[in-house]
Chains A and B, each alone.
Chain A
């Protein structure tokens, strides 16, 4: 009788988890559409001028951005190791990689702040040019997502320490991992479009 009740509870959780996952993926898709709109606007502005960035406008440093990108991509790898550690019951490994992810995410934001100050010295500002407007809008919006992600990770870490999740029920962790990977992948597109292309 007790095992039947446990079984039905597991089935119910499995169904709820599926619905939550679908809802979260729909949220990520809507966020993807938001970024796509801004990327399209950037490409439209960029294609409407002969020289990009416009003459006299300071450009963001490719190599600083490359190092900063690796910091963010590295955090994606540590996040993956963190959730795998949790799934396999390795608490120390989970905590270490989770903290590493939070530190790397914060480092990325610091790198972005350094880049903004460098651009300010070059007189590249938000209202000063179409390049500045599109660059700061896209990277600022992404930076805001990273900031939200760092807060999300801290909350999930605290919840885990309080015992909210166990090896079979950890949707919050799954959502945090997917969100962090999403933030990483958006940066792949932004790095290519803003610095390389």
Chain B
């Protein structure tokens, strides 16, 4: 398999897995009210955004090669 195709495939599959994990964790944290829990929620939300950016980049929707 072409190296670029392999990299893109790994990036998309990895981003789907990590994004789903981050969203599940965010749902689990949702009802917690401590300051560290609130910060964790923001961080997990941004982590999900990061996964979306990686999927868009790996599928060629955004970014220049």
Contact = CB atoms under 8 A, between A and B. Distances in A.
Given A25-B35, A184-B43, 18 more contacts: A62-B57, A62-B65, A64-B7, A66-B11, A67-B10, A69-B11, A70-B18, A73-B15, A73-B18, A73-B47, A76-B47, A80-B25, A181-B43, A188-B49, A188-B50, A192-B53, A196-B62, A196-B63
A74 B17 CA distance: 8
Identify the 3 closest CB pairs spanning chains A and B, nearest first: A181-B43, A70-B14, A188-B50
Given A63-B4, A63-B8, A80 B44 contact: yes
Contacts of B17: 74
Given A178-B43, A191-B53, A66 B36 contact: no
Interface string A35-64: 000000000000000000000000001111
Interface residues of B, number: 33
Contacts of B27: none
B10 A73 contact: no
A81 B29 CA distance: 12
A196 B58 CA distance: 10
Provide the main secondary structure of the chain B interface: helix
